[in-house]
Amino acid sequence: MLSRLCRIARRSSASPFEPPADRFNPLALSVRLAFAGALTTGLGTSAYAQAQIGTTQEVSKDTKELPAVTVNAESGSDFPQTYAGGQLARDGRVGLLGNKSVMDTPFSVSDYTSKRMEDQQAVTLAEVLNKDPSTRFTGQIGGVTDSFFIRGFPVNEGNLSEVAFDGVYGVSPNYHLFTEYLERVEVLKGPAALLYGMSPNSGVGGVINVVPKRPLNKDLTRVTLDYASDSQVGEAIDLSRRFGSERQFGIRFNGLHRQGSTPLDNQKSRAEVGALSLDYQGERFRASLDVIEQYQWVDAPTRPFLVASGIQVPSAPDGRRNVTQSWGWWKSNDTSTLLHAEYDVNDHVTVFADAGGTKSDVSRLSDQTPTILNSAGDTTATPQNWKFQINRSTADTGVRTQFSTGAVKHAVVLQANVYQDRIASASNSGKAILSNIYSPIASPEQNVSVPTSVPKLSASTLSGVALADTMSMLNERLQLTLGVRQQHVQSDNFSATTGARTSSYNESATTPLVGVVVKPWQNVSFYANYIEGLSKGDIAPTTASNAGQVFAPYKTKQEEVGVKLDMSGVLATLAAFRITKPSGQLYGTVYSVDSEQRNQGLELNVSGEPLKGVRLLGGVTLLDATLTKTNSAATVGNRPVGVPTWMANVGTEWDLPWVPGFTLTGGVNYTGREYVNQANTQSVPSWTTVDLGARYQTRLYGKSTTVRAGLLNAFDRKYWSGVASYGTISLGAPRTIFLSASVDF
C-alpha cells in the first residue's frame, strides 16, 4: 500500500544517481500531505498543537518562546514520561515482560527518545548508539550497515538485522534504520534470550529495540529541512491525525528525501523513506499497522579494512579519505510491515498477537574489504558485483494476566513465537586494485558482470515458547521475576550451484531468567539478574576428525547486580556484571566447544538536570575482558578482538538564561585501545573526539520553530573508530557540520 502511494507521488529528477523508474519518491507525497495537513488545520478541524520530538505540548497562540521543559507524551500508544531534558524515557519495553518503569526493571537499560535523536541530529542508529557508554559503532561512516559492540560482544554484524522492532525480530529494515520514523531507541544491556528469543545472528551483548512513531492524540504537521557537509540536503515531513467520534482511529506518516555529496572523497548518497503507521484505540481492542519502505543509493560506499598479519596498524588517515573507487556503488530497498493486535478479555487478562516481516533487495559493485599491506598504507581490494535477497518473517501470540495470591501480586505472560529468514546471494569478481589509505589511487572502471541468478544459500527457523511471572510484594518494593524459554533452532545451508542442502542444524535449548528488584525507598532500586543468551551451535568442519558433528546452541551466561537512583530529575545507574560466552574451535584434529570469552565490568550511567538549565547524559564503562579458554596457550589470558578497557561519553546542555530558548550543547567521547587479533600483536590506539552544537526554539510568524546546528568531531581528530569481531577496522568520521530547521504548522 505504502509503495503504491509513494509511486503516485513520484517526480522526475536530474540527479546523476537517480533511482530506477520503479522506485518510489516519498518527498512529493510528503509535500502534498503537508499542504493537506495545513489546509485541514486552517479549516479548524483540529486544535493547534506542538508535538516536540517524542513529547506533545500544547502552546497558546500568544506564547513568545518555547520554555525548556519536559512534558508527558500524549499519543494513542502510551509513550512514556521522560527525565529532565526529555533525552531518556522513564519506562520502556522489556521484551516478553512488556512496558516497565526503569526503576522496576532488573536490568541496565537506556531508552533514548526521539527528542534526543533530533537534538543530536542523528541520521541512523550509528549516531544514536555511539554516544552510549556501553556501546560502540564498529562499522564505518558512509558504509552499508550499522553494527555494534555492546558490553564487548558484537551485535548486528552480518546480513541479518538483529534490531528488534517494537519488541520482535524480523521486521526492522535490514541494514540502516533512519531516525525520522523512530520514537525511541531502547538498549537492554546483556544477553536476553528469554525476553526476546534467540537473536537472528546469535548476538548476546544486548538487545537494541526500536519503537516506531505512532499517531499522537494531538494533531501534528511538522516540516524539517536539514543540511550536512559536504552538500547533503534533506527534507522531512511528520504528519499525525486522529479521526472518529472518539478519535479512536489514527494515522501518522513520516517521509524523508535526502541526497548529495558527503564529507568523504567521491561519495554521494541518496535516501528516500516513507513510514506509515495506522492504529485503532478501542475500549478493549487495540491494533496497529506499521509499514516502512526505504530506498538507499550510495556512490563509492566505504568498506572496513583488514590488516595484513605481521605489521603494525598504520596511523589513521584523514577521515575524508576514501579508497573505494568512484565508480563503485551500493543500492538497497527494504519493505517492512508489522501488524499488532491485543484484546482485553477482562480487566485482568489480555491476549495479543504480532505478525510481520521484511523484504530486502541489495545490489552493489564496489571494492570488497580492502587489506592494508604495509606501514605505508598500501591496500589491495577486489571489486565484486553482488546481489542479495533477504526475506524475514515473524509471528507470535500470547496472553498476559494479573492476579493475586494472598499478599503477592502476579503479572504472568505466556508467549509462543516463530521467526524465519532466507538469504540468497551471488557475486562475480573483477581484478585486484591497488590503492593507499593516505593517497587513494583512482583505477579504471571494471566491467564486472551482474550475477545471472541469485540462489538460496541459507534458511533458518527460530521458534520457542516462553513463560514469565513477575511477583511483587510490600507495595511493589520487592519484585521477583522468574521465567523460562524453550528455544528451537533449525538451520539449513545450500549449494549455490546445485541448490542441494549441504548441511543441516536442528537443536533445542532451555534458558532461564531470575530477576530481583528491591526498593527500600521510592527513589532507590537495587537489582540483580541471572539470564542467558543463545548462539547457534557449530557443525564440525570437514577438516576435523569429528566432521559433521552438530553441537547444541551455546549458552552465554550473565550475572549482574546494580543500583538505580532517581533523585530530583537525575537518574544514575551503577551496574557490575559478568558475561561468559562459550564457542567452538579446532583443537588438534577434534572440533569441540572448549573456547570461552569472559567480559566483566562496571557501568555508570547518568542522565538528568542536576542544576536548573544544565543537563547531563553520559557515563563510563570499565571492561575486564579475557580469553579464558582458547586452542592455543599463547592466546589464553589475552584480550578479545575489539574490546577496549575504557569507554566514556559525556554530553551536556546549557540553557542560556539571558537568551530564552537558546541552548548550547557539547559532548566528549572516549574509547580505549582495541586489539585487532587474538594474539594481541596488532591494535588501534585510544581516541577522543569532541562535539559541539546549539539550538534555538522560538516562534516565527506564529509557528513553533526549532533551529539546530552541530559540529561532529570539532577538532577533526584522525582515528580508527572501531574494530569488528572478525578483525576489520573502520575509519572515524571527519569534522562534519549539521544544520536543521523544524517548523510545526
Question: Which candidate, 164, 159, 147, places its Cα nearest to that of 207?
Answer: 164
Q: What is the pLDDT of residues 413-444, one digit of tens each?
A: 999 999 999 999 999 999 999 999 999 999 99
More confident residue, 85 or 617: 617
Q: What's the rounded mean pLDDT across residues 257-277?
A: 96
pLDDT value at residue 21: 38
Q: Is 649:605 a contact under the CB 8 Å cutoff?
A: no
Give yes or no for residue 286 having a pLDDT over 90.
yes
Closest CA to 276 of 372, 181, 390, 387: 181
Confidence of residue 44 (pLDDT cuts 50, 70, 90): very low
Nearest to 126 by CA among 111, 153, 151, 146: 146
pTM of the model: 0.88
- Inform me whether the pLDDT recorded for 385 exceeds 70: yes
Overall average pLDDT of the 472-482 stretch: 96
Supply the pLDDT for residue 585.
Answer: 81
Angle at 647 between CA 377 and CA 653, to 5 degrees: 110
Higher local confidence (pLDDT), 568 or 327: 327
Residue 568: its pLDDT value, please?
77
Q: All domains of the chain, ordered by start, with CATH?
A: 2-738 (2.40.170.20)
pLDDT at 80: 55
Q: What is the pLDDT of residues 153-197, one digit of tens each?
A: 999 988 889 999 999 999 999 989 999 999 999 999 999 999 999
Which of 54-63, 279-288, 418-427, 617-626 has the lowest average pLDDT?
54-63
Asked if pLDDT for residue 277 goes beyond 90, the answer is yes
Residues 609 and 695: their CA atoms lie apart, in Å, by 18
CA separation for the pair 287, 279 (Å, rounded):
6
Cell 587513494 found at: 440
List the grid coordinates of 500. Answer: 542441494
C-alpha–C-alpha distance, residues 128 and 282, integer Å: 34
Residue 484: the pLDDT is 97
What are the phi and psi torsion angles at 310 (to 5°)? 90, 0
Measured CA to CA, the distance from residue 331 to residue 298 in angstroms comes to: 7
Name the pLDDT band for 317 (thresholds 50, 70, 90). Answer: very high
Task: At 699, list the grid cell.
Answer: 516562534
Q: How far apart, in whole angstroms, are the C-alpha atoms of residue 27 and residue 10? A: 8
